[in-house]
Amino acid sequence: MSNYNKLLNNLDILKLENTKNYLSEYLDNIVNNNITFLDGLLKITDKEIAFKDARAKIQNVKTAAFPFQKELSDFDFDFQPGLSKEKIMDLATLRYIEEQKNILFVGNSGVGKTHLAVSLGIEAAKKRISTYFISCNDLIQKLLKAHQENREDNIIRHYLKYKLLIIDEIGYLPINSLGANLFFQLIAKRYEKKSTIITTNQTFSKWGDIFSDKIIANAILDRLLHHSEVINITGPSYRVKDKIKKSEIRV
């Protein structure tokens, strides 16, 4: 076996697939351009690192379980003139995560709350920040199931590990007192340690009805709002916008 084939075999063992695929090109570049061995090795390792980083970004976005992949560049800020694009772009710097702050998007159905939450989540995941997306109803059901199986501490620790947790659609379905208590435990443990993004179609004054207990609701809000950015979106629904476009086309 030639040394070249041995090298390819070593790259297989080391799982340096990108380097293996482009090894011949790298070697030609070194020979044809009189690149030193050290500089050539540096270029090869730089490309391998870039490849692994790109692959990690893709995996992080996949692991985050987003319902769709829409980025901030896909958001029509012109359709929501009351929404500060500058504020959203500042949030996209992810400074709020370093400051352990929360974001709460409040507005009627269809105004773009989930789109913005997902987009900010994608920005975090691409920076290799552990991120997870879940609807409020799914989260409550998982917490209740874990409680029934006497493993609520484990599942709370599971959701606590994410540096950014996105909880979508608070207020669309009522939450019983046990679910509210378990939800509070999770929020309390994340308080001032990790960042949480919330979307809700209900004003905070109605959260007592959502969580079946005003005291628990106030305790949840106290921890979510203490260090937070509250983004109220009062514009029209994007779903209505799409229907209007379709009707205009028919006309």
Q: Identify whether 249 is part of a domain.
A: no
Are residue 32 and residue 103 in the same domain, yes or no? no
- pLDDT at residue 243 greater than cutoff 80: no
For residue 225, what is the domain's CATH number? Answer: 3.40.50.300
What is the domain count for the chain?
2
Please report the pLDDT score of residue 41 as a whole number: 82
Q: Identify whether 86 is part of a domain.
A: yes
- pLDDT at residue 173 greater than cutoff 50: yes
Distance of alpha carbon 121 from alpha carbon 227, whole angstroms: 18
Q: Identify whether 234 is part of a domain.
A: yes
Find where tokens 């290799």 sit: 128
| Chain segment 29-46, per-residue pLDDT in tens | 888 888 887 887 888 888
HEC states along the chain? CCHHHHHHHHHHHCCCHHHHHCHHHHHHHHHHCCCCHHHHHHHHHHHHHHHHHHHHHHHHHHHCCCCCCCCHHHCCHHHCCCCCHHHHHHHCCCHHHHCCCEEEEEECCCCCHHHHHHHHHHHHHHCCCCEEEEEHHHHHHHHHHHHHCCCHHHHHHHHHCCCEEEEEEECCCCCCHHHHHHHHHHHHHHCCCCEEEEEECCCHHHHHHHCCCHHHHHHHHHHHHHCEEEEEECCCCHHHHHHHHHHHHHC
Domain that holds residue 106: 72-241
Give the list of residues 6+ apart from residue 97 with CB closer than 8 angstroms, or none.
124, 129, 163, 164, 195
Q: Stretch 186-208: mean pLDDT, rounded?
A: 97
Distance of alpha carbon 140 from alpha carbon 126, whole angstroms: 27
**Confidence grade of residue 95 (pLDDT, cut at 50, 70, 90):** very high
Are residue 216 and residue 237 in the same domain, yes or no? yes
Last residue of a domain, one of 11, 32, 63: 63
Last residue of a domain, one of 46, 63, 80: 63
Are residue 145 and residue 43 in the same domain, yes or no? no
Are residue 15 and residue 114 in the same domain, yes or no? no
Please report the pLDDT score of residue 1 as a whole number: 75
Are residue 59 and residue 127 in the same domain, yes or no? no
Are residue 190 and residue 144 in the same domain, yes or no? yes
Are residue 109 and residue 36 in the same domain, yes or no? no
Q: Identify whether 14 is part of a domain.
A: yes
Please report the pLDDT score of residue 34 as a whole number: 81
Q: Identify whether 24 is part of a domain.
A: yes
- pLDDT at residue 132 greater than cutoff 90: yes
Are residue 138 and residue 164 in the same domain, yes or no? yes
**Confidence grade of residue 18 (pLDDT, cut at 50, 70, 90):** confident
Last residue of a domain, one of 23, 42, 63: 63
Is the pTM higher than 0.85?
no
- pLDDT at residue 247 greater than cutoff 50: no
Distance of alpha carbon 251 from alpha carbon 241, whole angstroms: 15
Are residue 57 and residue 81 in the same domain, yes or no? no
Q: Identify whether 248 is part of a domain.
A: no
Are residue 35 and residue 153 in the same domain, yes or no? no
Are residue 78 and residue 58 in the same domain, yes or no? no
Q: Identify whether 251 is part of a domain.
A: no
User: Are residues 202 and 170 in contact, defined by beta-carbon separation less than 8 angstroms?
Assistant: yes
**Confidence grade of residue 69 (pLDDT, cut at 50, 70, 90):** very high
Are residue 112 and residue 205 in the same domain, yes or no? yes
Q: Identify whether 246 is part of a domain.
A: no
Find where tokens 């484990």 sit: 154
- pLDDT at residue 235 greater than cutoff 90: no
- pLDDT at residue 249 greater than cutoff 80: no
User: Are residues 200 and 171 in contact, defined by beta-carbon separation less than 8 angstroms?
Assistant: yes
Average pLDDT over all residues of the chain: 91
Distance of alpha carbon 144 from alpha carbon 152, whole angstroms: 8
Q: Stretch 83-106: mean pLDDT, rounded?
A: 97
Q: Stretch 84-110: mean pLDDT, rounded?
A: 97
**Confidence grade of residue 241 (pLDDT, cut at 50, 70, 90):** low
Specify the range with the lowest mean pLDDT, choosing from 111-115, 197-201, 234-238: 234-238
Q: Stretch 231-237: mean pLDDT, rounded?
A: 91
Q: What is the dihedral sign for C-alpha 45, 47, 50, 56? A: negative
228 forms beta bridges with 102
